[in-house]
Chain A
Amino acid sequence: MLFWISTTLKVLVVVGFLAQVAALLLWVERKQSAMMQSRIGPNRATIKIGSLEIRAAGLVHSIADGIKMVWKADWEPTGGDHLLYRLAPIVAIVPALCLCAVLPFGPTVFIDHGRDLYDPAWATDAATLARSVPLQIANLDVGVLFIFAIAGAGVIGAALAGWSSDNKFSLMGGLRAASQMVSYEVAMGLSLVGAMMIYQTVRLDEMVTWQTQHVWGIFVQPVAFVLFVTAAIAETKRVPFDTPEGESELVAGYFTEYAGLKMAMFASGEFVEVCVSSALITTIFLGGWQFPFVQLTGLEFHYLGLNISWHWAHFVVVLVGFITFCLKCAFLIFMQLQVRWTLPRFRYDQIMKLGWRMLLPAALLNVLVTGTVLLFLNSGNG
């Protein structure tokens, strides 16, 4: 019973959160780019209540955009495939939402022990485990593999949209999206092999546990981190990898023929992808929900001759973990937006070259080096 209630709650909270993120990120992107380019940014949309004017530093623009999107004429191209045309935005956004199902956004909550100090025995006690809520919607054994499978499905939406629109710009955009995402899927997967070898697992919660006990993944797999971040940005199809919708050559690429809410689904799908990829990078390379030097019992700092042990109640640790996860994600989203407004778009052949000739060999080399080093370390221990 607790399982069903908690799972439903988690699904509602996470999906609801991601749905809001698109509107929020729209504002963040506009304001952040404005600050970067010495502009003020949007600040004109106003809600008037009597003499009170609410502008909320431009946040009202997101509401105004939403209202505008709803009232746009829902135009459809007369040619093309109508069923696929309507299906494509859904197929594009659902995988992005599904991805967050396996991401752990906090440590396991043991409901009966909220005020107690963490005891490792809880994790093995059947009675306590039955009254525990892991802060992760689905704790799958396949973990990372599920992510690759679902992220790969995202390309279908873009390809369908390009195909069903009956427009040559859309078709070219769909083709580009498909080939780009398939290419970077390869480098993305291979860049994680080294991390999986070190963590000895593909389960995401165990990856976080390993990083809490040892060291963050970015320190043992720095090359893989760079490769993965690059591939992840390419997967979101945003600048500098936005040739699928390059407006200077393809109008708007695969969603040229989409208007109103269908277009908004593609656009917000991109923001959800940014959010989810940030959460993924956090989980695999930045220690997930772990705040530096904080273990499940509280703050533990045993370096530089210092011996600090500051024990916290279980709920406090959970809360700190959850907030840390959100902050790390927010930082990565900020950096992704910063990259988007800093770098110019690659040419299409440059994207392909970068993917196949640089990222892929580098990822393979990373696997080789990691394997060799692990082999030496293990043989030394044995």
Chain B
Amino acid sequence: MPGKTKVLKKPTRTLADQSYLVEVVKGLGTTLKHFFQGTGQMVSGRVPNAVTDPLAEGISTLSYPEEKRAYSERWRGVHRLTHRDDGSPRCVACLCCSTACPAQCIYIKPGEYPEGDKRRGYERYPVEFVIDELRCIFCGFCVEACPCDAIRMDTGTHMTAFDVKSDFVYDKDKLMSMVSQHGTQKSENPRHEPGDSGHPGIDRLHGGH
């Protein structure tokens, strides 16, 4: 047998606890304190700003949608297609994202650049780029899979609610019109067009393999 036994004293209920009345008065004191704090803030107009100071004492209601808290940088919102310098999509229609998508909500119809375009032979472009946002599970695999940083989920916005299901299917124009949380339609990563000094100059016809 181990040596020491510690006998715990059972909590006893005092007469004050049992009468319930004392505790009722205490509880009323607490709620009254909160009531006067809240009313004071409301009447004097010194309600803490729920956006900038969410942990402040007193009223902390956020008047959504007039007030919104910013999401973190990593939060996955509605997709956008990033732009090149000339405003065309960075997407090269490689189908990596639609292949990676577990919900199969991305449809891309690839197309070849016309004859004489300096990009012809180097890369393709999406004739159609459609995401069914109702099927999307917002996993972010498409963003991970993209080799060109062409699709991003950094818009910081929710899916908007529409009346008609077809409105949830975002086409290329709509995806390209989305803006990132920081207001840009481009990506920070550099990109070299064919003919630039940084471009490797290898194309499908003259590649090493």
Contact = CB atoms under 8 A, between A and B. Distances in A.
B96 to A, nearest CB: 46
Interface in A302-360: 335, 338-339, 341-343
A342 B39 CA distance: 17
Contacts of B35: 32, 35-36, 338
Given A32-B35, A226-B21, A38 B59 contact: yes
A370 B42 CA distance: 47
- Label chain B's interface by main secondary structure: helix
Contacts, number: 44
Contacts of B63: 40
Interface string B83-112: 000000000000000000000000000000
B38 interface: yes
A78 interface: no
B32 interface: yes
A343 B21 CA distance: 11
A38 B59 CA distance: 4
Contact of A40 (B28, B30, B32, B59): B59
Contacts of A36: 31, 34-35, 38
A335 B21 CA distance: 15
B61 to A, nearest CB: 4
Contact of B31 (A39, A226, A338): A338
A39 B32 contact: no
Interface in A9-53: 32, 34-40
A32 B39 CA distance: 8
B21 A338 contact: no
Contact of A35 (B24, B28, B30, B38): B38
Interface string A226-245: 10000000000000000000
A341 B31 contact: yes
Interface string B32-51: 10110111001000010000
Residue of B27, B34, B37, B38 contacting most chain A CB atoms (<10 Å): B38
Contacts of A342: 24, 27-28, 30-31
B27 A343 contact: yes
Given A34-B38, A226-B21, A338-B35, A39 B59 contact: yes
Nearest to B30: A342
A306 to B, nearest CB: 32
Q: Which 9 A-B pairs have the closest CB atoms?
A: A35-B38, A40-B61, A342-B31, A36-B35, A35-B35, A35-B39, A342-B27, A36-B31, A39-B61
Interface of B: 21, 24, 27-28, 30-32, 34-35, 37-39, 42, 47, 58-61, 63
Interface of A: 32, 34-40, 226, 335, 338-339, 341-343
25 contacts: A32-B35, A34-B38, A35-B34, A35-B35, A35-B38, A35-B39, A35-B59, A36-B31, A36-B35, A36-B38, A38-B34, A38-B58, A38-B60, A38-B61, A39-B38, A39-B59, A40-B42, A40-B59, A40-B61, A338-B32, A339-B28, A341-B31, A342-B24, A342-B30, A343-B27
